[in-house]
Amino acid sequence: MGTESIQSVEQIAAYDHNKLAMILFIISEGTFFVFLIIAYVYFHSVTKTGPTAANSLDLVKTSIFTVLLLASSFTMWRAEKSLRQGRPNGFRNWLIVTIVLGAAFLYDQGKGYFHLYHDNVTMSRNIFGTTFFTLTGFHGFHVLLGLIALCVLLGLTLAGDFKTSHSSAVETVTLYWHFVDWVWVVIFSVIYLWAFL
Amino acid sequence: MSDAPYIPVTPSLTLPRDRVTGALAWISTVDHKKIGIMYLVTSLVFFCLGGIEALLMRIQLAQPNSTFLSPTAFNQVFTMHGTTMIFLFAMPVLVGTANYLAPLMIGASDVAFPRVNALSLWLLVFGGLLLYFSFIAGGAPAAGWFSYAPLSEKAYSLSKGVDYYCVGLIILGIASIFAAINLLVTIIHLRVPGLTIRRVPLFVWMVLVTQILILLAFPALNASLVMLFIDRTLHAHFFIPVSGGSAILWQHFFWAFGHPEVYILILPAFGVISEVIPVFSGKVIYGYEFVAASTVAIGVLSFLVWAHHMFAVGLGHGVDTMFAAGSLLIAVPTGVKIFNWIATMWQGTIRFTTSMLFAVGFLVMFTIGGLSGVSFAAFPIDWQVTDTYYLVAHIHYVLFGGTVFAMFAGVYYWFPKWSGHMLSERLGKWHFWLILVGFNMTFMVQHFLGLMGMTRRVFTYPNLPDWGLLNMISTTGAFLMGIAVAIFIWNVWTSVSGGEPAGDNPWNAWTLEWATTSPPPEHNFDRVPPVRSRRPIWDLEHPENPDWKHGH
């Protein structure tokens, strides 16, 4: 009994509140996206006339930027690994690459929205517009939040933080960044691959 | 082992702050106990507002062909009554109780994220104020608390009311999710050594399962509200059938939240009852594992029965049958609990304090509500009585007879810990008996009105035989409840400083919150007793016969 208690004291000290909180938050946000995706799927075959995914979206371009977003998950993993190996410069460089890739994705999304708006494909045009902009818009919003968090990490690094090999903040933001990337895989499959393949 | 060492206290997670006093000390606090009390006060304020709305409806319905309220006002009042009682009374009273008690019960000095805790509280307060602001901003929402589309869409609800409903509830939803994450991390990470998950008080078990339900159910509500808001403000088409949307989708989404929500509102009440009944029966809870496991079963099932709110939609016989079967199944784990509590009282040395009276009242009232609930699961009955006063009676037997009775039991039980003073038992007994009689007068007759065909949400009714009489009985009962609540508030008001001093453990209870002073210091415990069983204080006081010798 006694030794068991001592062990659990040590285990408690090793627990990371932030990481568990982020995992729970991701579960909750994931559920939120499930409902937006269900709405998109539910109405997928309703639209008979006007803009649809097949006749308004650019598969090739979005595929390229999807690869960039997924690459940012890889670079973030490298960043975290560099920090764990005690190379803060490597961490900083990989972090910058991650931010650039994430920003490129958002730039493409903004440009895509602009073209659609130019062609009068909007929220109110038809149910495709409604579900498409809601789903991708909320994803873009989550990418933006992730980018802000990454920029905060970068600012802290440049200010001389993260001297130790273990950082709860870095691990927590990394989890979130992987989440927004992999949610996009599902959204990309449901919207683009379903329409074009 | 009576000389087992006390457990060293974990250092406080809150940052040292300058001593501030007065209102600013409350506004700026990140102490889970003060935040818990502010949750409780907020919920009491909204309980009174929701209660006033209920009384306005009962005045209007006391007599046939009444003109006390206009139809428009009536629609706003019943919508705000339901929305208030569910989101601004029942949720905060349960979250507030959990906020105050869960860290104490697990021997922690605060929740895992004290600042996020304060954020959750203030989001709730301002979300509630935003919802109520609609009254002076062109009219409150008037499409019912579940705002069915397309009635809630712009074409049918022109005023800003539903917009305030959407934004207000999204804020409350975010607050609830933050609070859930906070409580989950607290319960998972911050239990004192020895307090394994099989030893935590059942209240903490219920809070744990409830927070998981909140984490998974509230995103459904937030997603639905976001879509409705986009429909209304950006002229989108989610729930508008004429332009390709679907009104049924709103119902599916809303009840995907709405049914787990029912259990979010009742499980913490089960937790309160599971603490109160053993203490006042002088016995350990009968079948701890069954109470905990049946809660998990209820939690899982609660996500699979949403369409029993939609039997009247016409989803098809196969679908209806499946959801009816699932709904009937939920009665099993719930019934298990009722028998657990009765078996705990069996052959106990029962002390009928006000708290225990409310707990016993809960058992009877909740069982009546459960039985009418089972009758609803049989969808041919549902088709007959859906949207009648039979439904209104059912919901109030489970949520008022259930949740509210349990919360009164909890307040009389824990008020001494919260304030350091006892509530008056004499006033408490007046409160209990008046509310028991008033409650049954108000809602028992509504079963009959519903079966006679009186639909809910009608602002008046013709002078049909017995309808006037039954409605007058219902209104009289509602005012008796109003008097009872006034007595309760008077009791709280006079006891906060003037009540008999409570001492650390006035009820001879066994769980850790009673191992510190009343009220506890800001860091909660100077020292936490060793935990070797489910009743650490019993073990401490009975070194000759501790629970852990019997393997509890």
The ipTM is 0.92
Which chain B residues are closer than 8 Å to A126 by Cβ?
237, 243-244
Question: For B523-542, how does the pLDDT look when each residue is reduced to its tens digit (9 = 90+)?
Answer: 999 989 999 999 999 998 88
B46-54: average pLDDT: 97
Q: What is the pLDDT of residue A12?
A: 44
CB contact under 8 A, B245 and A127: yes
Angstrom distance (rounded) from CA B407 to CA B260: 19
**Is the pLDDT reported for residue A11 higher than 50?**
no
pLDDT band, very low/low/confident/very high, at B3 (cuts 50, 70, 90): very low
**Tokens (6 digits) for B395:** 């919901």
DSSP 8-state secondary structure symbol assigned to residue B278: H
DSSP of B301-327, one letter per residue? HTTS-GGGGGGGG---HHHHHHHHHHH
CB contact under 8 A, A123 and B181: no
Q: Locate tokens 């308004």: which residue?
A: A56
Q: Could you tell me if B442 and B478 are in contact, meaning their C-beta atoms sit under 8 angstroms apart?
A: yes
Which chain B residues are closer than 8 Å to A13 by Cβ?
none
Identify the burial level of A11 via C-beta atoms within 10 angstroms of its C-beta, where 0-12 means exposed, 13-18 middle and 19 or more buried.
exposed
Angstrom distance (rounded) from CA B258 to CA B264: 10
**Is the pLDDT reported for residue B450 higher than 70?**
yes
Q: Locate tokens 């946000």: which residue?
A: A29
Angstrom distance (rounded) from CA B473 to CA A148: 60
DSSP 8-state secondary structure symbol assigned to residue B11: P
Which chain B residues are closer than 8 Å to A6 by Cβ?
193
A127-136: average pLDDT: 96
Q: Could you tell me if A95 and B212 are in contact, meaning their C-beta atoms sit under 8 angstroms apart?
A: no
Q: Which of B373, B372, B376, B438 is nearest to B405 (CA)?
A: B438
Q: Does A17 touch chain B (CB under 8 A)?
A: yes
Q: Is B353 left (phi over 0), alpha (psi -120 to 50) or beta?
A: beta
pLDDT band, very low/low/confident/very high, at B5 (cuts 50, 70, 90): low
- Percent over 90 (pLDDT), chain B: 91
Angstrom distance (rounded) from CA B410 to CA B544: 31
Angstrom distance (rounded) from CA B439 to CA B482: 10
Q: Does B251 touch chain A (CB under 8 A)?
A: no
CB contact under 8 A, B532 and A1: yes
- Interface with chain B: mutation pick from A35, A46, A52, A138, highest number of B CBs within 10 Å: A35
Kindly tell me the sign of the dihedral angle through the C-alpha atoms of B345, B347, B351, B353.
positive
Q: Does B188 touch chain A (CB under 8 A)?
A: yes
The C-alpha of A93 sits at a distance from chain B's nearest C-alpha, in angstroms, of 32
pLDDT band, very low/low/confident/very high, at A166 (cuts 50, 70, 90): confident
* B154 Cβ neighbours under 8 A, 6+ residues apart: B231, B232, B235
Q: Does B282 touch chain A (CB under 8 A)?
A: no
Task: Spell out a b/e string for B160-190, using b for 16 or more CB atoms within 10 Å of the CB, else e.
Answer: bbbbbbbbbbbbbbbbbbbbbbbbbbbbbbb
Flag the least confident range among A85-89, A160-164, B358-362, B451-455: A160-164
In chain B, the residue whose alpha carbon lies closest to the alpha carbon of A131 is B238
Which chain A residues are closer than 8 Å to B177 by Cβ?
25, 28
Mean pLDDT estimate for chain B: 93
Q: Could you tell me if B511 and B95 are in contact, meaning their C-beta atoms sit under 8 angstroms apart?
A: no
Flag the least confident range among A3-7, B14-18, B351-355, B494-498: A3-7
Q: Does B216 touch chain A (CB under 8 A)?
A: yes
Angstrom distance (rounded) from CA A111 to CA A104: 11
Identify the burial level of B465 via C-beta atoms within 10 angstroms of its C-beta, where 0-12 means exposed, 13-18 middle and 19 or more buried.
exposed
Q: Which of A17, A167, A162, A35 is nearest to A88 (CA)?
A: A162
Q: Which of B384, B397, B416 is nearest to B262 (CA)?
A: B397
DSSP 8-state secondary structure symbol assigned to residue A159: T
* A118 Cβ neighbours under 8 A, 6+ residues apart: none
The C-alpha of B54 sits at a distance from chain A's nearest C-alpha, in angstroms, of 33
Count the neighbouring beta carbons within 10 Å of the beta carbon of residue B224: 31
**Is the pLDDT reported for residue B203 higher than 80?**
yes
Between B22 and B510, the higher pLDDT residue = B510
Q: Is B11 left (phi over 0), alpha (psi -120 to 50) or beta?
A: beta
**Tokens (6 digits) for B323:** 């959801």
* B333 Cβ neighbours under 8 A, 6+ residues apart: B294, B295, B297, B298, B301
Identify the burial level of A7 via C-beta atoms within 10 angstroms of its C-beta, where 0-12 means exposed, 13-18 middle and 19 or more buried.
exposed
**Is the pLDDT reported for residue B21 higher than 90?**
no
Q: Locate tokens 């409840």: which residue?
A: B481
CB contact under 8 A, A15 and B189: yes
Neighbouring C-alpha atoms within 13 Å toward the C-beta of A77: 9
pLDDT band, very low/low/confident/very high, at B7 (cuts 50, 70, 90): low
Q: Does A141 touch chain B (CB under 8 A)?
A: no
Question: For B428-440, how does the pLDDT look when each residue is reduced to its tens digit (9 = 90+)?
Answer: 999 999 999 999 9
**Is the pLDDT reported for residue B552 higher than 70?**
no
In chain B, the residue whose alpha carbon lies closest to the alpha carbon of A36 is B223
pLDDT band, very low/low/confident/very high, at A10 (cuts 50, 70, 90): very low
Identify the burial level of B214 via C-beta atoms within 10 angstroms of its C-beta, where 0-12 means exposed, 13-18 middle and 19 or more buried.
buried
The C-alpha of B116 sits at a distance from chain A's nearest C-alpha, in angstroms, of 11
B295-315: average pLDDT: 92
pLDDT band, very low/low/confident/very high, at B20 (cuts 50, 70, 90): confident
Write out the E strands in B244-372: none
Of A8, A35, A130, the CB nearest to B236: A130
Q: What is the pLDDT of residue A1?
A: 35
The C-alpha of A6 sits at a distance from chain B's nearest C-alpha, in angstroms, of 8
**Is the pLDDT reported for residue A118 higher than 80?**
yes
Angstrom distance (rounded) from CA A197 to CA B403: 52
* B97 Cβ neighbours under 8 A, 6+ residues apart: B36, B39, B40, B268, B272, B407, B410, B414
Tell me, what amino acid is at A89? N
Q: Does A49 touch chain B (CB under 8 A)?
A: no
**Tokens (6 digits) for A136:** 């991708």
Q: Does B194 touch chain A (CB under 8 A)?
A: yes
Tell me, what amino acid is at B486? A
**Is the pLDDT reported for residue A163 higher than 90?**
no
**Is the pLDDT reported for residue B138 higher than 90?**
no
CB contact under 8 A, A28 and B182: no
Which chain A residues are closer than 8 Å to B188 by Cβ?
20
Of B113, B246, B253, the CB nearest to A35: B253
B17-26: average pLDDT: 76
Q: What is the pLDDT of residue A54?
A: 87
C-alpha triplet B30, B32, B33: angle, nearest 5°? 120
Q: In Å, how far from its chain's centre is CA B396? A: 12
In chain B, the residue whose alpha carbon lies closest to the alpha carbon of A16 is B189
B241-267: average pLDDT: 95
Q: What is the pLDDT of residue A4?
A: 42
Q: Could you tell me if B461 and B467 are in contact, meaning their C-beta atoms sit under 8 angstroms apart?
A: yes
**Is the pLDDT reported for residue A13 higher than 50?**
no
B157-181: average pLDDT: 96
Calculate the CA dihedral of residues B64, B65, B69, B74 and round it to 10 degrees: 70
Q: Could you tell me if B256 and B175 are in contact, meaning their C-beta atoms sit under 8 angstroms apart?
A: no
Count the neighbouring beta carbons within 10 Å of the beta carbon of residue B343: 16
**Tokens (6 digits) for B31:** 């102490």
Q: What is the pLDDT of residue B294?
A: 94
Give chain A's radius of gyration (CA, Å).
20
Q: Does B241 touch chain A (CB under 8 A)?
A: no
**Is the pLDDT reported for residue B75 higher than 50?**
yes
Q: Which of A1, A111, A101 is nearest to A57 (CA)?
A: A111
Of A25, A32, A123, the CB nearest to B222: A32
Angstrom distance (rounded) from CA B405 to CA B137: 35
Angstrom distance (rounded) from CA B156 to CA B1: 71
Q: Could you tell me if B149 and B228 are in contact, meaning their C-beta atoms sit under 8 angstroms apart?
A: yes
Angstrom distance (rounded) from CA B151 to CA B215: 28
What's the Cα-to-Cα distance from B402 to each of B292, B295, B369, B394, B421, rounded to whole Å? Answer: 18, 16, 8, 11, 26
Q: What is the pLDDT of residue B17?
A: 53
Reduce the DSSP state of residue B501 to 3 states and report it: strand
Q: Which of A8, A172, A55 is nearest to B113 (CA)?
A: A172
Q: Which ranges of A43-87 does DSSP label H, i.e. alpha helix? A: 53-56, 59-84
Count the neighbouring beta carbons within 10 Å of the beta carbon of residue B23: 8
Q: What is the pLDDT of residue B15?
A: 47
- Interface with chain B: mutation pick from A134, A136, A168, highest number of B CBs within 10 Å: A134
Which chain B residues are closer than 8 Å to A41 by Cβ?
none
